[in-house]
Structure 1
């Protein structure tokens, strides 16, 4: 053996020997998560779901799991975590926690430093047997977060660079190169919000075998107990009054934003989906990759947010109901993001020049009277609250909106975290320093969303891009379908909030432009360059201004019903979404006239219907 070959052999042997003496633990895979919650919203950005101590200022109960070690001995420990307040504050952050091994702390306070996701040195531990109990012990209740824990006989942390870390993670976890086949389907729907849920039910009732993939344990998206936004818009509107039957079947009977969890009736949505024999439901799976053949999607790959199991979904047709247009983006679909300028479509409401501004995301919250005096920790991390700028309120709903001037995809964790930061900062000042603190002495935070309610990001472009004048001038296209009934409702930073928090706004205003109920063209519901991709929800083919009316959830639910119908027509004739428009539009219209309602349900969807000018004369 020559010298170079010997050196190479020794190096490779050393690497494998070191890997054999290491243990990699994904936090979201802990057997007992205690009071920690799984957050998957940013796994496309930072590489993984993670556990978070969302205690609203009260330390959460420990998360715990048992880990097998290759051998006893001393191990160096690294924990991948992040000081989430670092964009606004240079000192120690609020999300502090400890790592315990067999009940003994490693001696490091974690989560308080680091301006990005990094592997932090947690110290050395002595493992006395082949099995140990690992515990995450929250110290503050202020959203400390843990991606993964790495025990090694060496002294080198895993890589931080995303592509390298991805390969390292897959190898450590033994994830197969090819995902397991989930089965063959007629339609794969990605995203279990209102639009994805109704699309799945509609298609299933018309005979298609449907896979519905949702990256949370509940359905409903913004209308779930995790986000708590009530439905908006109207159902049963001309020219197709049967559209909205499924929305009515799954929709909560009560309205209101930021209300107790029961208002949003998660169980009703779940029961309605599970009642459909043609739907295979995959909760807690997040789609992360697509496979293409020319301009068609052949497979979508999804990863379980706890176990990291990966599944592959094949079908002739796919529907992107993710809100963010994730599947379309991965497939190379044309999309827009931000505001078009007047020069693009001539819209009166558009700015003179195009820009990146979007509507923002809301972290809603509310407090309750506890019946006795309650405390809240001092919380001040770079955004100053005082007597003049503090919001003297007991709850915050849609107007607590952040991130309009940030990228709602690439900077989404920062956007959500700023929402949390201002809620805690404002509440801390009210409880501890304000002139009205006596009014708050018995109040405590009951609920703060950690799943942010997003309004706008990517809009996938179809054969027709709906613009403001189409709606306001009542331009009826031959493929008129799902009606939009909300005003053109666009959000902007609240000028008063801007005065107090320049470039750090967290409150919004809404500017409304009334419209007549308007039927959205079907051509807005499929991609113009990915041949077998439908879309329903806030990611359809519209301008930023037109999005202001179509984005409310009764309307997106009706879109889903239409997409399910169109998918059944496409499957029947072995054609594409565009082919339905070109050759089978009358058949789609017949289905829209009939609807796919299955149950005789009283219409309880008469709250938050919005203000319009009534039917066009």
Structure 2
């Protein structure tokens, strides 16, 4: 290059030029920066791996980003199912808790910043935005390098690593590497899946584009573009559109399931743009919506949110029976809980309902083998492209589930990089237990697995507390609620005879009220269709009547029971304002009827109401429930499952303190704490407003002491997990955690305490 002036650069003509090329080496290259890829990258980097994260969009998050604006959701399913305390853990939990704290109104642009900050905070991550993977080189059955191109800086990247992860949604890396994949739906005969769709329904889910509107307080004219759909009645459900629904609540503006959802995406986008602008034209200009006069079309998605394209074949293919029967897997590494949710291929133009659901009784395990390519030796799969059938995909595809799968892939890659292994090597039982242990340490939730950690010094400690919560009475200081639905209080009871329970009711007219004691078919089952006992009460009209449930029934092992008051329109039950970790009231919202033809079980849905509603029922319990012992913090379950799995202090404890004592001094390099951010709360990332910024059960201010010496203090915590690392290891025979305050008026609670020796 010849320079003629300090402010001018000139370049003579050449026959041709090539793009600038940069070589980057790492331990792991991840293609795809959606929720799965982001969580994989953060997890791997925290575990010591050097990571390159390649994202072909300007922001992270994929369908959750401000470009598409779908809420992140998974097993909690808007709290409409029986998956109690099932919100995904680990990195995704950090993200959702932080987003609710900063962004309770669900602004998608702010959610972008939370994701970008999380990736940028990890020095082990090289983030390449606006960069698309375009080629792969291979050495035998392994990927050697990935070529990627950034349109914004005209740079080609050559990325090398011993391990690769495809989290790209369409599976671009696996496709270029030649891995076996499927598109469409398997027949019922292949796996015996009764929910497999007929040809008339279609074998692929389509794509969606949403819009937002805004009231500007003055009349706004809308002139539709020439390409807008001019006949709204082509949409069978056109009468369902109104001005109050926007964003991803319009998920059923869907199209493309009859097309190639990879290569026809641009055509699908144009069709969805036609629909969106046609819908808005109908709302603004049909005359049927006078309230639309001051509304303007604030935003329309620029790219469609994809649901389904390629699914790659791994060492195992998850199927309907795994989900509905909640089958156990020795290599479980994540949880799922969304329904089997199939959509008609014709989408918004279909005569079928927008979705067809089949709910299991509860959450299920995702096996690691679904994340390991069977063809490409150093390729991990994450997100919606993992090895599942079309029917199982209908559940695993949702973003919170994909994020947990991404966390598992990231941790697996870090262990492989550290030990010089390939992904398939981790299926060996000892290595799998090590992977599961690392995931649980990092906050991952794996149903039915508890953390058994030989390195944890708390296992050797004597645990005590200033007090332990014993629930003898929940006073009736809350509103009375009508039994327009059956309502129930979940109580964590020990094995043995049921306690005597007294409730208070207001009765409008003489009636008979039935109270049933129910439970699930196993300790962690929250579908209460096992009847333990029942009692009928003949009541006269009158307020403040106390009824005592005293039945000769036995709880077989520690578990939650439902104290259920069946529907009675003449009765209201008194509630309490008191809340506590692991205490929850629910109501019978609906029932999924059994259908043997498609493998659909009967499931009664007993679901909570969101705060500030959802009060616990007022009652007295004799003998009191004592489920919040100090020893709970080391039982390996850092959330309620079959029990609260938490230490909680008494409501009137002025200085709630948990103490650990060892027979002789221990050297401590790190302390891990876990607090209650209510894993039952869905924490939708966008559009859905949250009445809280921080969960009231969560510890806000705490002090850690070694003996009498303060070694750490946090004054404004709202996160689930707190990690204290000491440059100079503590040497002590006594440790205490004092809870100075919580984020609300719930009693102090700690879910998990772990102490580790200094790193070698």
The interval holding the TM-score normalised by the smaller chain is: 0.5 to 0.7
Contact 2:132–2:148 (8 Å) recurs in 1:
yes
**Is there any run of 5+ residues in structure 1 with no aligned partner, and where?**
1-65, 72-170, 500-504, 611-617
Say if 1:568 and 1:307 are closer, same or farther in 2 by CA, change over 3 A.
closer
Please give the residue correspondences for 1:251-400 in structure 2 after superposition, counting only pairs within 5 Å: 251=96, 253-254=99-100, 261-262=107-108, 265-351=111-197, 357-381=203-227, 383-386=229-232, 390-391=238-239, 392-394=241-243, 395-396=246-247, 397-400=250-253
> How far apart, CA to CA, are the structure 1 residues paired with 2:202 and 2:135?
26
Please give the residue correspondences for 1:142-161 in structure 2 after superposition, counting only pairs within 5 Å: none
Please give the residue correspondences for 1:43-442 in structure 2 after superposition, counting only pairs within 5 Å: 174-176=17-19, 180-234=21-75, 244-251=89-96, 253-254=99-100, 261-262=107-108, 265-351=111-197, 357-381=203-227, 383-386=229-232, 390-391=238-239, 392-394=241-243, 395-396=246-247, 397-432=250-285, 434-442=286-294
> How far apart, CA to CA, are the structure 2 residues paired with 1:247 and 1:367?
29
- From 322, 334, 355, the equivalent of 1:509 is 355
Measured after TM superposition, the shift of residue 262 of structure 1 is: 4.3
Partner of 1:542: 388
Contact 2:314–2:369 (8 Å) recurs in 1:
yes
Contact 1:205–1:596 (8 Å) recurs in 2:
no
- From 422, 430, 441, the equivalent of 1:576 is 422
Contact 2:253–2:348 (8 Å) recurs in 1:
no
Contact 2:22–2:155 (8 Å) recurs in 1:
no
Residues 82-108 of structure 1 show CA distances to partners (whole Å, capped at 9, x for unaligned) of xxxxxxxxxxxxxxxxxxxxxxxxxxx
- From 426, 434, 438, the equivalent of 1:587 is 434
Contact 1:216–1:284 (8 Å) recurs in 2:
yes
> How far apart, CA to CA, are the structure 2 residues paired with 1:579 and 1:596?
23
Partner of 1:469: 321
Measured after TM superposition, the shift of residue 469 of structure 1 is: 0.9
Find out whether 1:558 has 2:387 as its counterpart: no
> How far apart, CA to CA, are the structure 1 residues paired with 2:321 and 2:39?
28
Please give the residue correspondences for 1:474-493 in structure 2 after superposition, counting only pairs within 5 Å: 474-492=326-344
Contact 2:234–2:349 (8 Å) recurs in 1:
no
> How far apart, CA to CA, are the structure 2 residues paired with 1:263 and 1:605?
25
Say if 1:388 and 1:548 are closer, same or farther in 2 by CA, change over 3 A.
closer
Say if 1:473 and 1:568 are closer, same or farther in 2 by CA, change over 3 A.
same
Contact 2:177–2:376 (8 Å) recurs in 1:
yes
Match of 1:413, SS state, is helix
> How far apart, CA to CA, are the structure 1 residues paired with 2:187 and 2:17?
49
Measured after TM superposition, the shift of residue 173 of structure 1 is: 7.4
Say if 1:241 and 1:210 are closer, same or farther in 2 by CA, change over 3 A.
farther
Measured after TM superposition, the shift of residue 350 of structure 1 is: 0.7
Q: Scaled by the length of structure 1, what TM-score is found?
A: 0.64
Residues 231-286 of structure 1 show CA distances to partners (whole Å, capped at 9, x for unaligned) of 11248x99x9997221011226459xxx8644751111111111111111111111
- From 677, 684, 693, the equivalent of 1:603 is 677
Match of 2:218, SS state, is coil
Find out whether 1:447 has 2:299 as its counterpart: yes
Match of 2:433, SS state, is helix
Say if 1:608 and 1:570 are closer, same or farther in 2 by CA, change over 3 A.
same
> How far apart, CA to CA, are the structure 1 residues paired with 2:393 and 2:683?
17
Say if 1:405 and 1:388 are closer, same or farther in 2 by CA, change over 3 A.
closer
> How far apart, CA to CA, are the structure 1 residues paired with 2:346 and 2:680?
29
> How far apart, CA to CA, are the structure 2 residues paired with 1:576 and 1:374?
60
Partner of 1:152: none
Partner of 1:161: none
> How far apart, CA to CA, are the structure 2 residues paired with 1:482 and 1:464?
15
Say if 1:243 and 1:315 are closer, same or farther in 2 by CA, change over 3 A.
farther
Contact 2:228–2:277 (8 Å) recurs in 1:
no
Say if 1:308 and 1:69 are closer, same or farther in 2 by CA, change over 3 A.
closer
Say if 1:355 and 1:464 are closer, same or farther in 2 by CA, change over 3 A.
farther
Match of 1:265, SS state, is helix
Match of 1:374, SS state, is coil
Contact 1:367–1:444 (8 Å) recurs in 2:
yes
> How far apart, CA to CA, are the structure 2 residues paired with 1:475 and 1:192?
31
Match of 1:297, SS state, is strand
> How far apart, CA to CA, are the structure 2 residues paired with 1:241 and 1:566?
23
Measured after TM superposition, the shift of residue 68 of structure 1 is: 9.8
Say if 1:572 and 1:408 are closer, same or farther in 2 by CA, change over 3 A.
same
Residues 320-354 of structure 1 show CA distances to partners (whole Å, capped at 9, x for unaligned) of 00011110000000111111111211101013569
Measured after TM superposition, the shift of residue 587 of structure 1 is: 1.4
Measured after TM superposition, the shift of residue 573 of structure 1 is: 2.3
Say if 1:223 and 1:473 are closer, same or farther in 2 by CA, change over 3 A.
same
RMSD of equivalent CA atoms = 3.5
Contact 1:190–1:321 (8 Å) recurs in 2:
yes
Say if 1:264 and 1:526 are closer, same or farther in 2 by CA, change over 3 A.
farther
Contact 2:202–2:345 (8 Å) recurs in 1:
no
Say if 1:384 and 1:536 are closer, same or farther in 2 by CA, change over 3 A.
same
Residues 348-394 of structure 1 show CA distances to partners (whole Å, capped at 9, x for unaligned) of 10135699621111101121112111111144548432579645423
> How far apart, CA to CA, are the structure 2 residues paired with 1:441 and 1:393?
13
Measured after TM superposition, the shift of residue 221 of structure 1 is: 0.9
> How far apart, CA to CA, are the structure 2 residues paired with 1:358 and 1:496?
14
Match of 1:212, SS state, is strand
**Is there any run of 5+ residues in structure 2 with no aligned partner, and where?**
1-7, 77-81, 445-671, 685-760
